[in-house]
Structure formats: C-alpha cells, structure tokens
Structure 1
Amino acid sequence: MSIFTETFEWLADPSHWAGSSGIATRLLEHLQYSGLVLVIAAAIAVPVGLYIGHTGRGRVAAVAVAGALRALPTLGLLVLFALIAGSGLMPPVWALVILTVPPLLAGTYAGISSVDETVVDAARAMGMKELQILFRVELPNGLQVMFGGIRTAVLQVIATVSVVAYLPLGGLGRYLFDGLVLQDFPRMLAGSLLIAGLAIAVDLVLAAAQRLLVSPGLSTGPKGGRKAATTLTAAAPATAAVQGGTP
C-alpha cells in the first residue's frame, strides 16, 4: 500500500475529524492563530505603509527594515521569543508578526505610491485635505496593488503558523510534528495537504473579495491610475467653474 493511499485513508477516517485533536478542531485553531497574527501585523504595517506611501518619507528605511525582517529564520525567531518570554501563545504570535509585517508594509506602500500623481494633484486642486486624498483617492486607486501584499501575507502566515506546534501548541502543524515523532508519515502528508488546501481556499476567498472591493475600472483598465487621473482631472475644471460662477 502506497503512502498516498494510506494518507487518503487517514483523512477519510471519521475518528480523525472529531474530538479535541481532530481535524476540525486543529483547523479552527490554525485559523485563530493566523487571524491573530494578521490583525496585529496589519495594525502595525498598514498605518506605516499608508504614511510612507502618501508622504514619501522613510522609504529607504522601510525598504531596509522590511528586507532585514524577511531574512530572519522563522523557527529560530520562534525559539528565541519562547526562551525570552516563556511558553504560551503570544511569544510565537509576536515572532510571526515580525515576519508578516514586511509583505503588508510593502504592499500598502506600493499600492499608495502607485497612484498616478495627476490624480493626487487634481484632488489637491479641488481643495481636498491630505487625509481626504489618502482615503478617498489614493486608497481606492491603490487597493488592487495592496491586495497583492495582503494575499502574500495571508498565505505566508497560514504556511508558517504551523511551526507553533513545535512549542507545542495546536493547529494543523500538530500533525506534522506528531507524525515526525511517531514516524507516522501518512499523518505528516495529511497535515501538509490540509495546510495547502486551507491556503488555497483562503486565497480563493481573498480573490473573490478583491473582485468585489476593487473598482471594475481599475481591474480591467490597462492602468487604473491613468483612468482615474483622467476622470478626476476632468472633474477639477468643472468644479472650479461651478465655484467661479457662484455669487
């Protein structure tokens, strides 16, 4: 019997889906860990990325820091935080947050800075404040690029959050480490397939969300910034004419 046949038999066994160590429970734990990491990382990276993309300040430092953080080894950082802060959920979460910030920061910064300068200049000419320009002009126009960073970060988190089982905690990574200790290779392969399947499913959900949230003009046009620039630039003289004709 091949390992693939044994793996699918392991997955088809109802006893492996129920209980505190069942697939359903481990899947929920995996999603909870991933969601917590993403929320904390987004709270740090997105505001910084919006500021850098809008003002252009700190670009060099942001690129350098993001590159340095990407080079850190996941398991080594996880063990370091566990040794410093002790056991529990938060040490591995903070280690994964450090690794998740770079793609979110890069995606947010790239999305905002990719907006055509003509759009921003036209918005200022219409009298919009800086925060209005950021949230009503740059953010909607840069959302498509930002989604690239978001999807990359989510896939990275789902894949790497498996290492929290090393401490040990729960999640789908439990099948990898337990299978390694017990020399149960079908369990290890099943865990790998479950993690890959979860990543694909979440990415499909994010792709659907991207189609719903991103303007069709930005998604289908040759370059969203140019189309937005044309529309907004055309609106600016009309607004000025209206203001000039007002007694």
Structure 2
Amino acid sequence: MEIVRFIIDNLDIIGTRTIEHISIVFLAVGIAIATAVPIGVAITQSKSTADTVLYLASMMITVPSIALFGLMIPLLSPIGHGIGYVPAVVAVILYSQLPIIRNTYTAITNVDPALREAAKGMGMSTWQRLRQVEIPLAIPVIMAGVRTAVVMNIGVTAIAAYIGAGGLGTFISRGISQSDPRQLVTGALAVSLLAIAADLFLALVQRLLTSRGIQGEVTP
C-alpha cells in the first residue's frame, strides 16, 4: 500500500520523468534510424564490409552501459556536455546501431532475387528498385530491429540517471542510494510499463507501414 500511495502522491513527477525518458530514447533512436538504415543498405553491396561493420556494432553493444556513460564524460566535457541529456542521447544512438543495421542488412539481402530481376526487366534503376521494391518488402524486418532498439534502450536510459540525464532511472538511483523500496519499485515498474507501451505502439506503426500484400506473412 505504501508503494501505491507513493505513486499516487507523485504522479506529476512520474509524468515529468516519463517525458524525459521518452525524449531521450525516441530522439536517439530517430537519429539511429537515419544513420543505421543507410549503413545497412550500403553494406549489402559487400559481404566483407558487412561482416566488419556488424562486428564493430556488436562490439559496441557489449560495452556495459554504465561504462559507456562514463566514457561520455571526458569525451564530451570539452564542449560543455560531459553529463546530462547529450551524453545519454549519444550513448543510446550507439547502442541502437546494431539491431537496426543488422535487420536492415538481413531484410535487404533476403529479398527474393526473382523480384529484383523482374524490377530490372521493367527498366528500374538501382535506386528505383531499392525505393519501390526492396525497402517496402524490408519494412517489417527493419521495424523489428527498431522495436528491439527502443525496448532495449528504454532500460539502458534508466542508467543515464547516474550522469544527470533525468528520466525514470532517477527513481531507481534514489531508491538504491536512500534504501527506499518505494522509489525503486516505482522506477522499475514505470520503465517496464513504458517498454511494453512503446513496443505495442511500434507494432502498430509497423503494421501501418507494411504493405497490405505482405501483412498476412508478417507476425507482429
């Protein structure tokens, strides 16, 4: 009951922290989409380049989040953003690269070769094939990578509270430092519910972006 009372008494603060959390994750993932999708498309032209890029992206995701946030401090301090919002966004951008690049690469390379040949036979250029055939067919798999990145980084962003970025992780960090289970449970519950809500929202976006002709073949 104490936890429920704490949540009710602090709904305004929880709302503010939730908005901070969402702003970090969705800005970072939005930038990651703008960079990772073109990279994923580009590396389909070379297997060796694809292996190298995916290996480097895999190495990045193995770095513990608290260590990566710590590395942001000396790297961004010279421009006055060693702690706070900016390093949190940069770290989440880096963590988002692998699932989006990997899914984009996989989706494009798995397009039926017969469809490519048909597009060539219709006189389409490489760019036209990519824009009108390959990308539309790849959307469900690319969106699956985006969903993975978002859900994963909602959890990662909770750690950003330790570098002053705000968000729902503030409740968790204060709950630990103050030995206050009310704040700890509130933060953990809010992060979990946000991750579920974001995944459901992106599943809807994925369905809206997916061509009706292949919706029946895609599992949300």
Q: Common fold, TM-score beyond 0.5?
A: yes
Distance 1:204 1:169 in 2: 25
- Residue 36 of structure 1 is matched in structure 2 by 27
Question: How far does residue 216 in structure 1 lie from its aligned partner after superposition?
Answer: 2.9
Q: 2:139 aligns with which of 140, 143, 162?
A: 143
Q: Is contact 1:69–1:99 with CA below 8 Å preserved after alignment?
A: yes
**1:165 matched to which residue of 2?**
161
From 106, 128, 132, the equivalent of 2:128 is 132
37-46 or 194-203: bigger deviation: 37-46
Structure 2 partner of 1:64: 55
Greater mean deviation of Cα atoms: 84-93 or 181-190: 84-93
**Higher Rg of the two aligned structures:** 1
Shift, 1:176, TM fit: 0.5
- Asked if 2 retains the 8 angstrom alpha-carbon contact of 1:30 and 1:170, the reply is yes
Q: How far did 1:206 drift?
A: 0.8
2:206 aligns with 210
From 8, 12, 19, give the equivalent of 1:12.
Answer: 8
- Give me the whole-angstrom Cα distance separating, in 2, the residues matched to 1:92 and 1:150: 18
Find the partner of 1:186 among 175, 182, 188.
Answer: 182
Structure-2 separation of matches of 1:200 and 1:111? 25
1:231 is matched with: none
Which of 190-199 and 82-91 deviates more?
82-91
2:117 corresponds to which of 118, 121, 125: 121
- In 1, are the aligned partners of 2:58 and 2:98 still within 8 Å (CA)? yes
- TM-score scaled by length of structure 1: 0.81
Is the aligned partner of 1:197 residue 2:188?
A: no
| Secondary structure at the counterpart of residue 120 of structure 1 | helix
Letter in 2 for 1:219: Q
Indicate how the Cα distance of structure 1 residues 213 and 126 shifts in structure 2: closer, same or farther if over 3 A, else same.
Answer: same
- Compute the displacement of 1:33 (Å): 0.8
Deviations 1:161-189 (CA, angstroms, capped at 9, x unpaired):
11111012211111001111111111111
Distance 1:169 1:212 in 2: 33
% identical aligned pairs: 33
Kindly indicate whether residue 100 of structure 2 is the aligned counterpart of residue 104 of structure 1: yes
Contact 1:78 1:96 in 2 (8 A): no
Q: Distance in 2 between the 1:76 and 1:85 partners?
A: 14
Mapped to 1, the partners of 2:208 and 2:187 lie a distance apart of 32
Shift of 1:83: 2.7
Contact 2:21 2:168 in 1 (8 A): yes
Tell me how many residue pairs correspond in the alignment: 213
Runs of 4+ in structure 1 over 6 Å off = none
Which amino acid is the alignment partner of residue 73 of structure 1? P
Cα distance change, pair 49–140 in 1 and its aligned pair in 2 (3 A): same
Structure 1 gaps of 5+ residues are: 223-247
Cα distance between partner residues in 1 of 2:116 and 2:5: 58
> Could you tell me how far apart the structure 2 residues matched to 1:218 and 1:158 are?
30
Say which SS state the counterpart of residue 115 (structure 1) adopts: coil
1:25 is aligned, of 16, 22, 29, to 16
Give 3-state SS (helix, strand or coil) of 1:217's partner.
helix
